[in-house]
Amino acid sequence: MKFFLAFLFSFSALTAHAQHTQYAGQQTREIKALSTAEVSQYRAGAGLGYARAAELNRYPGPMHVLELADRLTLTPEQRKATENLMHTHKAEARAIGEKLVNAERTLDRLFAQAAAEENVLAQQVRVVAAIQGEYRLSHLETHRRMRALLTEEQVNRYVQLRGYGVAQPDASPFPR
C-alpha cells in the first residue's frame, strides 16, 4: 500500500508539473495564441487542415492536383483552370490570414493591457471566430470548385494517389 501511495503521489506531482509548464516559454510570443510558424502559415494562406472535410470526402485541393497533374492526366485546359483557381485562392487566403493574425493580435492586447472587459472581450472573440470561418470557407470552397474541374475518373485516381482509397483506423489524437 505504501508503494502504491508513493507511486500515486509521484504520478500526481509529475502530472501537476506537466500541466504547470505546458505554456512555459510562450509568454514571450508577440501573439500568445499563435506560434511564429502559425502566423507564417496564415499569412501564406496555408491549408492548416481547414479543408479536411472536403479533402477526405473526394473534393481534391488544387495544390495537390497540380502536384499530381501528370498522373491525373490533366488536359491543358484543366491545368490552366487549376492554376488560376490556386492563384486566386492563395491571394484570398493570404488576405484573410492577415486579417486573422491582426484580430488575434488585438485579442492578445486586450489581456496584455488589462482591458479584457466582458463586452469588449466577447466582441473580439466573435471577430476572431468570424475570420476563422472565412478562412475555412475559402479553403473548402476552393476544394468544391476544384472538384467541378475534374472528371469522376480523375477524382477516383486522386483519391487513390493520396492514399484515401484504403480504409485505415482513425488516427485522431482525440478519443471517440
Q: How far apart are CA 24 and CA 115, in angstroms?
A: 23
Number of domains present in the structure of the chain: 1
| Locus of grid cell 470561418 | 133
Categorize the per-residue pLDDT at 4 as very low, low, confident or very high, splitting at 50, 70 and 90. Answer: very low
Is residue 109, in this structure, part of any structural domain at all?
yes
Alpha helices in the chain (DSSP H): 2-21, 36-44, 52-55, 62-67, 76-112, 118-148, 152-161
Categorize the per-residue pLDDT at 167 as very low, low, confident or very high, splitting at 50, 70 and 90. Answer: low
Is residue 6, in this structure, part of any structural domain at all?
no
Is residue 100, in this structure, part of any structural domain at all?
yes
> Domain range spanning residue 126?
31-161
Is 64:164 a contact under the CB 8 Å cutoff?
Answer: no
pLDDT tens-digit map of 43-57? 999 999 999 999 999
Residue 135 has pLDDT above 60, yes or no: yes
Say which residue, 171 or 105, is predicted with more confidence: 105
